[in-house]
Amino acid sequence: MKIAMATIFVAMQIIFAQSDSIETKILNHSFHSKSEIIAKGRSLLLEKFLNNELNEVKEIKNYLKNIEGENYMAFYHIEYRLILYWTNEYEELLNNVKALDSVATEKYYSRIHPLGDALGLQLKNKSKQNAQKILEQIQNAAIDAEAKGFLQLNFEAIINGARGMGGAFQDSLNVLADNFLKTYPKTEHKDYIRKYIRFKYGPGNWGFGLEFFSGYGIFTGELSDSYTNNIPFGAGFDIYYKKFEFYPRVYAGFNKTKKDFAYSTGVYRKGRLVETILGEASFGYVVLDNDNFKISPFFSIGKMSIEPSSLVTKAEDEEWIKEISMDAFAYVMGLNLNLKLGRIKDPYSNAEADNFLRLRYGYAMPNFSKKYDVSGNMHFITIGWGFFLRGSKREY
């Protein structure tokens, strides 16, 4: 027992001694990590930059870039490029832009980034204040006209652009970018410009909406001899892809019989309530779409049924209801006219939302089987309120 206790005591002494040794090593550690060196170097560089000591800025920048290695990053892209603009290192700046490919981007995000400080903000603010001076230095540099044009365009994008957030400046930047690409159609910078400088958004391919409606339905032929015209209530769900539209809709019309309908155990008298149900899967195509109106003809495949109203029948009446009910596949064609009540559009992304009134005319052609011994079609006009949402996509 004594031997066991002694063994445990010795083991604990060894563990505590090792722990104390590691703690001592950490506390007495005098080596500065790369992150610490980069943080202090960035702080010194910022001080020199604010004092306009650009030679020292260049020396510190070079030192920090040399110690980065595979795992650390001394500067964010925009910081590094703005420093190069200030130190007039245009060849390095052009090479840095050309090296920005998918591999370099992946490596950029996988490295240890600098700790938060004011370097980037100060570089951008002072660059904005001295923009004309820097643009003139580029113009006077001993580089070709294409390089000058690209460096000036890129500088404008860095200090004023909102990286695709839209607005008046982005519009003017897009014009400058387009002009540069027209002047130098074979430029090696065209992919960079299209990806990082020129931003324009338009409506997305997909949109969604919802509509609630009422209106009036008019029967023709023998249907008009058997039933009054109907007043519908209904709802539809809109799905849009580019200019194509898809509308699943349910039309529930309420009307009355114009004659008696006999069934096996009785008679459904003239003047009793009936329901005209039309379910549609409509396909449309937009032929006009502006800030005020949208027009789209459509074609539908659906099913029409006419049956005693559930408002006056009971569950136990199911058998005789079937005897005097009719249903058939139906084809529908017509036209939608949307009056836009108010469009909300994001000025940056061009995502949009509309409230609208929809006037819809349709001509339904049910294909009743011979057993019903009836023919006829239905005109209908509905007026609905709805809303519409469409996302955005980058056009270039």
SS3 185: coil
Q: Do 120 and 252 belong together in one domain? A: no
For 281-337, what is each residue's pLDDT tens digit? 999 999 999 888 999 999 999 999 999 998 888 877 888 888 889 999 999 999 999
Domain boundary (174, 197, 220) is at 197
Q: Do 173 and 216 belong together in one domain? A: no
Which domain, by its residues, includes 124?
34-197
CA-to-CA distance for 253 and 259, rounded, in angstroms?
A: 18
Q: Do 241 and 129 belong together in one domain? A: no
Total domain count, the chain: 3
Q: Do 66 and 26 belong together in one domain? A: no
Domain boundary (197, 226, 243) is at 197
For 59-104, what is each residue's pLDDT tens digit? 999 999 999 888 899 999 999 999 999 999 999 999 998 887 655 6
Q: What's the pLDDT at 1?
A: 54
Radius of gyration of the chain from Cα atoms?
A: 37
For the chain, give the percent of residues with pLDDT over 90: 61
Q: What's the pLDDT at 317?
A: 81
Domain boundary (128, 162, 197) is at 197
For 239-298, what is each residue's pLDDT tens digit? 999 999 999 999 999 999 999 998 988 999 999 999 999 999 999 999 999 888 999 999
CA dist list (Å): 215 to 230, 297, 358, 383: 9, 18, 11, 6
CATH number at 352 reads 2.40.160.20
CA dist list (Å): 182 to 173, 175, 176, 187, 291: 14, 11, 10, 10, 32
Helix 145-160 and helix 90-98, axial crossing angle in degrees, nearest 10: 70
Q: Do 285 and 364 belong together in one domain? A: yes
Q: Do 328 and 208 belong together in one domain? A: yes
Q: Do 132 and 150 belong together in one domain? A: yes
Q: Do 9 and 149 belong together in one domain? A: no
Q: What's the pLDDT at 107?
A: 75
Q: Do 52 and 187 belong together in one domain? A: yes
Give the dihedral sign, CA 182/188/190/196.
negative
- How does residue 235 score in pLDDT terms, banded at 50, 70 and 90? very high
**Tokens encoding 149:** 């044009």
Q: Do 165 and 208 belong together in one domain? A: no
Q: What's the pLDDT at 151?
A: 95
Burial class, 140, CB count within 10 angstroms (exposed 0-12 / middle 13-18 / buried 19+): exposed
Q: Which of 8-22, 49-63, 151-165, 166-180 is most confident?
A: 49-63
CA-to-CA distance for 158 and 124, rounded, in angstroms?
A: 8
Tokens 């057993």 sit on residue: 371
Q: Do 131 and 12 belong together in one domain? A: no
Question: What is the greatest pairwise CA distance in the chain?
Answer: 113
- Residue 348 near residue 324 (C-beta atoms within 8 A): no
- Considering the chain, what is the average pLDDT of its residues? 87
Q: Do 23 and 116 belong together in one domain? A: no
